Amino acid sequence: MRKLMLGAALLALAACQSAHDLSLGERLNWRCAGDKEFSLRTVGDAIEVYAAGQTNRLEPTASESGRAYSNGQITYTEARGRATLTGIQGGPYEQCRRRGSGWL
C-alpha cells in the first residue's frame, strides 16, 4: 500500500513539473516617460507584451540596431537599454527603461 501511495505521489509531482512551460522567459518590466509602464516575456522566438490591461503576442522583425517585434499593429523596439512600444492603447510608450523584477 505504501508503494502504491508513493507511486501516486510521484506521478502527481511529475505532472506538476511537466505542466510548467520552460519556453516562457522571465518577465521584464519597463517604466516609460509620463509614468507609463509595461512588461514583456519571451515565448519561444516571440514576446508577449502586457500594457494597458492587454496582452499581445509580437513576432521578431528586422531591425538595423537592437531588437524589434511586431504583430502588424503593435511594435516593440529595444536598443542600448531603452525601449519603445507603439500602436497600443495608452501609447506610445517612449523613453522606457528596465525596472527590477517582481513588478506586475
77-93 per-position pLDDT tens digit: 999 999 999 999 899 99
Nearest CA among 20, 39, 14, 17 for reference residue 28: 39
For residue 73, pLDDT over 60 is answered with yes
How confident is the model at residue 13, as a pLDDT?
A: 45
How confident is the model at residue 63, as a pLDDT?
A: 83
How confident is the model at residue 40, as a pLDDT?
A: 95
Backbone angles phi, psi at 16, to 5 degrees: -65, -45
Confidence of residue 100 (pLDDT cuts 50, 70, 90): low
Q: What is the torsional sign of CA 79, 28, 13, 44?
A: negative
How confident is the model at residue 66, as a pLDDT?
A: 85
Q: What is the pLDDT of residues 11-69, one digit of tens each?
A: 554 444 434 444 567 899 999 999 999 999 999 999 999 999 999 999 999 888 889 99
